[in-house]
Amino acid sequence: MSILGNRVLRREDPTFLTIGAKYTADLDSPLLNNAAMVTYVRSTMAHAKISIDASEAKDMPGVLAVLVAEDLDGPKILAGGNPAFPKPMLNRPILATDTVRFVGECVAVIVSETSEQGADAAELVFVDYEPLPVVVDMEEASTDNVLIYEEVGTNVVFDFSTNGMATGITDESFFSTCDVVVSGRVSHQRTAAAPLEVRSTAAAWDEDKLIFWTSNQGPQGVKGSLESFYGDQATGGVQVIIPDVGGGFGAKISPYPEDVLLPWLAKHVGRPVRWFETRTENMLAMGPGRAHVHQFTLGGSKDGKLSHYRLELLVDSGAYARLGAFLPMFTLPMAVGVYEIENVETNAITVVTNTTPTEAYRGAGRPEATLTIERAVELWAAEAGIDPIEVRRKNFLAADSFPATTGVGTVYDSGDYERSLDLALEAAGYEELKHQQQERRETGSVKQLGIGVATYVEVTAGPAPGGSEYGKVEITPEGKGRVYSGALSHGQSHMTTFSMIAADQLGMDIEDIEFVQGDTDVVTDGTGTWGSRSTQLGGSSVYKAAERVVERARSLAADLLEASVDDIVLDKTTGSFHVAGSPSINKTWAEIASTTDDLAEETREKLLCSYPFGTHVAVVEIDTETGSVRLERMITCDDAGRIINPMIVEGQRHGGIAQGVAQALYEEMIYDSDGNLQTTNFADYGFISMAELPSFELVPMETPSPNNPLGVKGIGESGAIGSTPAVQSAVLDGLSYLGIKHLDVPLTPEKIWNAINSMEENREA
């Protein structure tokens, strides 16, 4: 009987629950003995010419060095994003030279004996600011009235239609054949990844070898970046080690300027160095996500059939063009969601603003596509006078059409969207909920009920066509298994999932599988973990590598048993090899491993991406006197193909749903007109807790993918993609009887209260 599909307890948990995790800030490596502490001095203005006087700071107790940009003879520029971006926007200074472009940008660095001494010295670094015009709103930035890079002549980083990555927009005749047309604007607020472990890094030189520890999602990518800066000095190589990581959510994919300078600082002071930030620094300077404004138009016939869709994206990259500037590459291919809409026009433009540069954040472009198309469908249904549930049913891509090509040319692998809708509605008791809602409206209850539905599809292991991940399976001399993965688990449970896959293939107990990750000297290849790619790519590589190890072992067993290799079988129940029909004479894994010095196989096969989907139903209670919203129920049907371990999948769904709900109701990074962040800690920023959430009602469904040998799809981000539009729709459904048609997320009490009172004032007038 296969272990796959069973609820296996996480192998990671006993250590976390007893000894505890060991994060980068907890490291006690001998190589970090006598490490000095690094403190960055950050800009307090969003846009200004600067000059710096650090003389007083240099004389402070415990200070080993105080450095500004002109003192560096090492790395000065950290390029990000895409080489097609204008170079001034692409090339982010390690330390600002003559101009700062966002509050929190590094302008100087202090190396000291203790972090407290560094903080004291930072107070004495005098920065003279000559203010420049500030633009923090992306729509204002798109007008080019205020230029952040005068030499470029525009704030536009990238126009996706000009570069052949979007269809472009025609005139309004595009919708001339439609009976019903609606247009709207949907805002996707800037959100903080807010990992509970903030950024943390350490660097040491062991003679001519660089050893680098960091909280990151992909060690090999960090190594490549460091080699580009230090390859000539690190003749003994670069080793990157990722300890336990307390959350990444996309914001820890790429190294930051604060990270890549540390090896140079270690050389400069002749000692290892360590850096970890405060929560306020994290909010100021770690890459946030989302920050889109979408304009849409949706058209169709009066019988409910959708036929034309236009989507225009405006995306905020922040002050420099990093990964966030290119994330429309995930939004545009998913523009039409789960719907069969034949005629589609798209475009996306990314602009710079005087704000923190944006990065990926859980879902990274797909939540934005889903939120907009689901809002568009709801508004179109209201305009057409048709139940939005029926509009969905009428326009879903049919289950028998897969692999299905959408109106933007994306090829979805497998799906049954209507079934996911039926299962979620049934579990929710949808008709009874509608009855309860009507009763509250008729009685004029202060507490009104809202019911929201969203059906989504997303891409994982993307963007299309797909990707690959390194995996290696080795048999130890003791006859046990060892799995090496280039994917980096930071909460995704790779140790358990990948061990299950290997154990199933090898006929071993899961406890006999060792899992290795996060050290580039040991795992010599890999990509990392993001985009819900790990199991379908990394897990599939483990599956194929284990399969090849078994084939090699069959050949070795054939020699030992003096039989034809074609007659040798692996008995997975006993974990031994024997001639078919003669199980009493067999060879164990240990016996086979003793015949060779290296019983291991590795692989990095390219695989197509997959398209998980599902339906979320949210039930909210709205206090019409205060505008407060309480999420009463959250019912989700999330299909991620074949499920390896239901318990782990449920955990991933829980986390994603919570973050999606938080975006719908609470989280938003807010800047004032001068570019000062107003949400610099968890007292100001609406970080969600269990107190704001009900127990989630999870409905199972499995539609295997044909695009990988395991049939799996990603699940790490799905919860954050379906829950936000479901909660938004629930709130607006609860307010619809008042004539309120649309409010952007986050749906805060103040925003709802103002909308209710505005409608009442209009009625009285």
pLDDT band, residue 1 (cuts 50/70/90): confident
Indicate whether this model's pTM tops 0.85. yes
Check whether residue 625 and residue 536 sit in a common domain: no
Check whether residue 324 and residue 437 sit in a common domain: yes
**Residue the block writes with tokens 């523009």:** 335
The sign one gets for the Cα dihedral 745, 750, 753, 756 is negative
Q: In what order do the strands lie in the sheet with 36-42?
A: 63-67, 106-112, 36-42, 273-276, 200-206, 209-214, 238-241
Q: In this predicted model, what pLDDT tens digit does every residue of 634-673 receive, in sequence order? A: 999 999 999 999 999 999 999 999 999 999 999 999 999 9
Q: What is the mean pLDDT of the chain?
A: 97
Q: In this predicted model, what pLDDT tens digit does every residue of 415-469 receive, in sequence order? A: 999 999 999 999 999 999 999 999 999 999 999 999 999 999 999 999 999 999 9
Residue 9 placed within a domain: no
pLDDT band, residue 81 (cuts 50/70/90): confident
* CATH number of 354's domain: 3.30.365.10
If 0-12 CB within 10 Å is exposed, 13-18 middle and 19+ buried, where does residue 456 land? buried
pLDDT band, residue 765 (cuts 50/70/90): low
pLDDT band, residue 10 (cuts 50/70/90): very high
Question: Which alpha helices (DSSP H) does 359-429 contain, by range?
Answer: 366-384, 388-395, 417-428
3-state secondary structure of 393: helix
Q: What angle do CA 518, 259, 352 make, to 5 degrees?
A: 115
- Write out the two tokens for 419: 């079934």
Is residue 243 reached through a cis peptide bond, with omega within 30 degrees of 0 on the bond before it?
no
Q: In this predicted model, what pLDDT tens digit does every residue of 321-339 receive, in sequence order? A: 999 999 999 999 999 999 9
Q: Are 433 and 696 in contact (CB under 8 A)?
A: no
Check whether residue 330 and residue 399 sit in a common domain: yes
Integer CA distances (angstroms), 384 to 253, 307, 343, 736, 745, in order: 44, 14, 19, 15, 24
Write phi, then psi, for 611 (nearest 5 degrees). -135, 85
Q: Residue 162 contacts by C-beta under 8 Å, 6 or more apart in sequence?
A: none
pLDDT band, residue 80 (cuts 50/70/90): confident
Q: In 10 A of CB 681, how many CB atoms? A: 12
Which of 285, 302, 334 is the last residue in one of the domains? 285
Residue 175 placed within a domain: no
Check whether residue 591 and residue 618 sit in a common domain: no
**Cα(176)–Cα(364) distance, rounded to whole angstroms?**
34
Task: Give the pLDDT of residue 13.
Answer: 95
**Cα(637)–Cα(114) distance, rounded to whole angstroms?**
51
pLDDT band, residue 82 (cuts 50/70/90): confident
* Count of domains for the chain: 3
Looking at 69-132, which runs of residues are DSSP E strands? 77-79, 91-93, 99-100, 106-112, 126-131
Q: Residue 359 contacts by C-beta under 8 Å, 6 or more apart in sequence?
A: 193, 250, 251, 253, 254, 286, 287, 288, 289, 322, 323, 324
Q: Residue 273 contacts by C-beta under 8 Å, 6 or more apart in sequence?
A: 35, 36, 37, 38, 111, 202, 203, 204, 262, 265, 266
Which of 577, 605, 633 is the last residue in one of the domains? 605
Q: In this predicted model, what pLDDT tens digit does every residue of 555-586 receive, in sequence order? A: 999 999 999 999 999 999 999 999 999 999 99
Q: In this predicted model, what pLDDT tens digit does every residue of 672-692 receive, in sequence order? A: 999 999 999 999 999 999 999
Structural domain including 400 reads: 289-462+609-764
Task: Give the pLDDT of residue 764.
Answer: 72
* CATH number of 212's domain: 3.90.1170.50
Residue 158 placed within a domain: no
Check whether residue 494 and residue 623 sit in a common domain: no
- Write out the two tokens for 706: 């044909």
Task: Give the pLDDT of residue 572.
Answer: 96
Check whether residue 539 and residue 411 sit in a common domain: no
Residue 169 placed within a domain: no
Q: With 80 as the cut, is the pLDDT of residue 291 above it?
A: yes
**Cα(216)–Cα(360) distance, rounded to whole angstroms?**
13
Residue 96 placed within a domain: yes
Longest dimension (CA), the chain: 96
Q: In this predicted model, what pLDDT tens digit does every residue of 432-444 receive, in sequence order? A: 999 999 999 999 9
For residue 490, the Cα-to-chain-centroid distance in whole angstroms is: 12
Residue 270 — left, alpha, or beta (φ > 0 → left; ψ -120 to 50 → alpha)?
left
- Write out the two tokens for 509: 């107990």
Check whether residue 669 and residue 731 sit in a common domain: yes
Check whether residue 482 and residue 585 sit in a common domain: yes
Residue 517 placed within a domain: yes
Check whether residue 621 and residue 505 sit in a common domain: no
Q: Are 455 and 374 in contact (CB under 8 A)?
A: yes
Q: In 10 A of CB 130, how many CB atoms? A: 11
Q: In this predicted model, what pLDDT tens digit does every residue of 507-563 receive, in sequence order? A: 999 999 999 999 999 999 999 999 999 999 999 999 999 999 999 999 999 999 999
- Write out the two tokens for 360: 């990926």
Q: In 10 A of CB 102, how many CB atoms? A: 28
- Write out the two tokens for 558: 């054939």
Residue 228 placed within a domain: yes
Q: Are 632 and 696 in contact (CB under 8 A)?
A: no
Check whether residue 204 and residue 115 sit in a common domain: yes
If 0-12 CB within 10 Å is exposed, 13-18 middle and 19+ buried, where does residue 562 land? exposed
Q: What angle do CA 539, 365, 155 make, to 5 degrees?
A: 135
Q: Are 578 and 569 in contact (CB under 8 A)?
A: yes
Which of 261, 285, 309 is the last residue in one of the domains? 285
Q: With 80 as the cut, is the pLDDT of residue 759 above it?
A: yes
DSSP 135-151: ---HHHHTTTSS-S-TT
Check whether residue 634 and residue 716 sit in a common domain: yes
Q: With 90 as the cut, is the pLDDT of residue 383 above it?
A: yes
Q: In this predicted model, what pLDDT tens digit does every residue of 305-314 receive, in sequence order? A: 999 999 999 9
Check whether residue 307 and residue 404 sit in a common domain: yes
Residue 512 placed within a domain: yes
Q: In this predicted model, what pLDDT tens digit does every residue of 397-412 receive, in sequence order? A: 999 999 999 999 999 9
